Every structure is written in C-alpha cells, then in structure tokens.
Amino acid sequence: MYAASPAHYSTLPYHRCGKSGLMLPAVSLGLWHNFGDTANFENMRLLCRTAFDNGITHFDLANNYGPEPGSAEKNFGRILKEDLAPYRDELLISTKAGYTMWEGPYGDWGSRKYLLASLDQSLKRMGLEYVDIFYHHRMDPNTPLEETMGALAQAVRSGKALYAGLSNYNGETLEKACAILDELHVPFVINQNRYSIFDRTIEQNGLKETAVRLNKGIIAFSPLAQGLLTNRYLNGIPEDSRIRTDGRFLKESVITEEKLAQIRTLNKIAAARGQTLAEMALAWILRDGKVTSVLIGASKPQQILDNIAALNNTTFTADELEAIDKASGFYKE
C-alpha cells in the first residue's frame, strides 16, 4: 500500500492562479507522453508516486492522450484507484477536450455536444466524480465562442468540474472568452500554452500579457521544446531519442546545424549559472512570476527530481537574459 512521503509539501513552492483561490505547484506533471498503453504501467505508477512525494499535486491530462486516445486517462484512473485515492482532496486533476477524439461530427473541436460528452467519458475512464480543471483544448474557428464557453459553464455548474481553463488560445480570443465567462460567473482561472526559450508564441500573440492583465494563471507546456533544451542533442541525435522512436511531435529536420549550435551555446550559459540546460530552461519560464506553473513530462523518476532542481535558481541577470535571447534567435536591438 502506497503512503506518501510525510515531507511531500516541503519541496515545492505553490503559486496562486491569477487572483483565484487556487494554488498550483511551481512544477506540474503532464501525462501527454509515457502514460499510454504502449508504456510500462509500473513505471507510470513510479512517476506519479515520485511526483506526489515531492510536492507535485497537479496531474494534467486530456481526453486524447495515449496512444490510444483515452488510455492515459484510463491508466491514471487505475493509479488513482490503487495508489492515490486516499489523497484525492490533495490532488489537482485536469483534463481537456478539443482535438479529435472519436469519428463523426461530434468528436472534435468545441461544440457543446462534444465537450460535455467528452467530459463524461473522461470522468468514467478515471473513475472520478469531478475534475478540478476542465479545459477547452484549442480555439474553434467555426463554433460560436458563446457556445463553447457555455459548455464550460455547464460543466462547472453540474459539479463535474471545479474550474474552467483554456488551452492554445491567443490573447485576443482569450479576452473575448474571459468576458463571456465573467458574465456567466464561471471560475475561469488558467491558460495552458506552449512556451519555451525556443517558442515565444505567447509573447508574440499577446496571450502572456493579456492573461496577466486579466489576473488569470498560465501553465506552460513543452518547456523543454520536446527535449531540445536538454543535453540529449548536444552531440547529435541519439538512437533512443523521441525523434527516432516517435516522430509525431519532433521531426529530425528540426535538428539542423544552426539549431545544434544554439543548443550548445545555451548549454554553456546554463553551465556558467551552475545549472543543466534543462534546469535553466525551466527556470527561465518561471523567471518573472507571470507563469504560475511549468508542466513537465517524464519517462524516468529521476527526470522529475532533476526538473524540480530548476527551482533552486530562477533569478537571471540582464546579461544572462540577453545572452539567452541572442543564442535562441530572439534578440532585438
């Protein structure tokens, strides 16, 4: 029988999600990879135990995480039942709907029909009565925003979700969605978006500053750029890397000589700070207090512990930030 470490709240700081009452750990665990039916179940259990033992109370899923779609939720539900059930009130569990989940016109995008049906399916797979955060996973260019936000409102009012979130929205659409949700008195608290030293989209599309202005939280996914911001690619492409074993999300064509040179330069900056490249990349995201939590993935428990070490130093000098911008191609005179 699993029993959590007595010191599991002594490792991480917890950050308030905008101006809401909800607190998130500075580091959260994402189940996008390594929790599908192709992964080892005992390793999944060990990852979740290691996370919770070290203060990671937030576990992030989506209906389509796998492979196969739905399998990450199913496997996490088993871990909840066998290990984490006594700690349910100490856990923050989120899921999402918005990408293709099943065939036909009702299994994709942002209709009321799809979102509410998907939430019911997610709860069943995980064996839960409610999730803490239910996200719309991506903007829908065809469904009226009022309908999608109304579905999130119904999810909360039904008690099947405690808070609403938006994922992969830009600043302009976020502001419109926020106005609707405020009118509906929905506790919308957080945005989930890709963000890393190599991907500054939320800075460029206004999402980061808009979220701060509206007092909403931000949780950043892919903070290590699918592994590019680690020591994995300093000397080329390893045979056991994600590029070789699963080319769905990171293509070999990305690893150019220019990109390798950027990675090596960033690694030198990190070393001068006394950090690994991965630690610096995570610390960089949390540097200004505008991001509530950084969402990590892991295939080994030690990776979780290594990522938590990033919190030992999240302060950067102006010279360091300039050097990082120059190395990653984002420096502006």
pLDDT averaged per 10 residues, the chain (length 333): 96 97 98 97 98 98 98 98 98 98 97 98 98 98 98 98 98 98 98 98 98 98 95 78 61 82 97 98 98 97 97 98 97 83
Total number of domains in the chain: 1
Given this model, what pLDDT does residue 43 score? 98
Q: How many Cβ atoms from other residues are within 10 Å of residue 193's Cβ?
A: 24
Decide if 162 is inside a domain.
yes
Contacts of 136 (CB under 8 A, 6+ apart): 96, 97, 98, 110, 115, 148, 151, 152, 165, 166, 167
What CATH number does the domain containing 55 carry? 3.20.20.100
**Eight-state DSSP code of residue 298:** -
Decide if 9 is inside a domain.
no
Decide if 5 is inside a domain.
no
Q: How many Cβ atoms from other residues are within 10 Å of residue 6's Cβ?
A: 8
Contacts of 322 (CB under 8 A, 6+ apart): 331
Decide if 2 is inside a domain.
no
How far from 306 is each of 111, 139, 168, 294, CA to CA, in Å? 40, 34, 27, 14
Which of these, 178, 245, 252, lies nearest to 216 by C-alpha position?
178
End-to-end, the C-alpha distance of the chain in Å comes to 58
Decide if 38 is inside a domain.
yes
> Is 226 within 8 Å of 250 (Cβ atoms)?
yes
Decide if 333 is inside a domain.
no
Could you tell me where the beta strands, DSSP code E, fall in the chain? Answer: 14-16, 23-25, 27-30, 58-60, 92-97, 131-136, 161-167, 188-194, 217-221, 293-296
Given this model, what pLDDT does residue 254 score? 78
Report the C-alpha dihedral over residues 250, 254, 256, 260, rounded to 10 degrees: -50
Given this model, what pLDDT does residue 141 score? 97
Determine whether 122 is exposed, middle or buried from the number of CB atoms within 10 Å of its CB (0-12, 13-18, 19+).
buried
Residue 187 is part of which domain span? 14-328
**Eight-state DSSP code of residue 55:** T
3-state secondary structure of 67: coil
Given this model, what pLDDT does residue 188 score? 98
Decide if 199 is inside a domain.
yes
- List of long-range contacts for 256-263, beta carbons under 8 Å, 24+ apart: 259/228, 260/233, 260/234, 260/236, 262/198, 262/327, 262/328, 262/329, 263/228, 263/229, 263/233, 263/234
> Is 290 within 8 Å of 212 (Cβ atoms)?
yes
Q: How far apart are CA 135 and CA 61, in angstroms?
A: 10
Decide if 8 is inside a domain.
no
